[in-house]
């Protein structure tokens, strides 16, 4: 869904990517910064009870991680620095980022454990189904309701709302659990049709 919107902001990403590249950073450096922000976000979710303001800081760190994830690819394309290892590292770190953030939310008691685990499983399988299908030659971009951008935005909005209504994030994780696993089913059906 948001993949189409992502294409419209490529020019803005390119401008930011140029600035980051001028600092001497490579796409792999940006990928590593992205996972660092994701880990900081997870730790902030986990420790939110120390101060409710952390429910504002955690999603900001998560969104920064998501922005860096978009920038590493933009940099790689812009400067001809795309490599097989870079693509592999980016994808691998994205999965760790998704998992660690949901673990932080679960450990912080911000959702039901079963809902959090279902959302975690669904999030990882959304990515897996795309990778597996594309390895078989079937494009999966924009197939399904809960791609990575949608998942980050849902969690961020619910986190900001949870500053005044703590249960907001709990319910958002349930919605995420449903949508991610529905997306897996959508992709399986799409792949079945496309591969016959």
Mean pLDDT, range 137-157, rounded to an integer = 91
Give the residue from 108, 92, 107 showing the smallest Cα distance to 35: 92
Mean pLDDT, range 69-90, rounded to an integer = 86
Which of 72, 90, 94, 98 is labelled catalytic? 94
Tell me the three state secondary structure of residue 84: helix
Mean pLDDT, range 45-61, rounded to an integer = 95
Give the residue from 157, 181, 182 showing the smallest Cα distance to 168: 157
pLDDT digits (tens, 9 = 90+) for 33-48: 999 999 999 999 999 9
Mean pLDDT, range 62-90, rounded to an integer = 88
Q: Look up 69 and say whether it is catalytic.
A: no
* Rounded-to-integer distance, Cα 129 and Cα 186, Å: 10
Give Cβ neighbours of residue 172 (< 8 Å, ≥ 6 apart). Answer: 154, 155, 157, 158
Q: Which pLDDT score is estimated for 3? A: 53
> 97-106, 112-121, 139-148 — which is least confidently predicted?
139-148
Reported confidence tier of residue 11, pLDDT bands at 50, 70, 90 = confident
Prediction pTM value: 0.90
Q: Which pLDDT score is estimated for 192? A: 93
User: What class is the 2-194 domain?
Assistant: mainly alpha
- Asked whether 126 and 180 are in contact (CB, 8 A), the reply is yes
Q: How many CB atoms lie under 10 A from the CB of residue 117?
A: 16
Domain coordinates in residue numbering, the chain: 2-194
């Amino acid at each position: 869904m948001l993949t189409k919107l992502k294409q419209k902001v490529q020019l803005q990403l390119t401008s930011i990517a140029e600035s980051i590249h001028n600092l001497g950073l490579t796409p792999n450096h940006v990928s590593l910064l992205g996972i660092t922000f994701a880990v900081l976000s997870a730790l902030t979710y986990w420790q939110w009870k120390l101060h409710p303001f952390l429910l504002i800081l955690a999603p900001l760190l998560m969104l920064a991680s998501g922005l860096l994830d978009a920038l590493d690819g933009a940099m790689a394309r812009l400067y001809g620095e795309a490599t097989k290892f870079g693509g592999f590292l980016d994808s691998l770190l994205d999965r760790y980022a998704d998992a660690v953030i949901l673990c932080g939310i679960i450990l912080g008691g911000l959702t039901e454990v079963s809902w959090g685990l279902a959302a975690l499983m669904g999030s990882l399988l959304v990515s897996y189904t795309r990778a597996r299908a594309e390895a078989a030659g079937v494009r999966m971009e924009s197939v399904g309701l809960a791609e990575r951008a949608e998942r980050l935005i849902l969690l961020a909005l619910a986190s900001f709302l949870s500053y005044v209504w703590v249960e907001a994030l709990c319910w958002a994780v349930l919605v995420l659990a449903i949508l991610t696993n529905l997306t897996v089913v959508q992709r399986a059906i799409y792949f079945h049709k496309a591969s016959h």
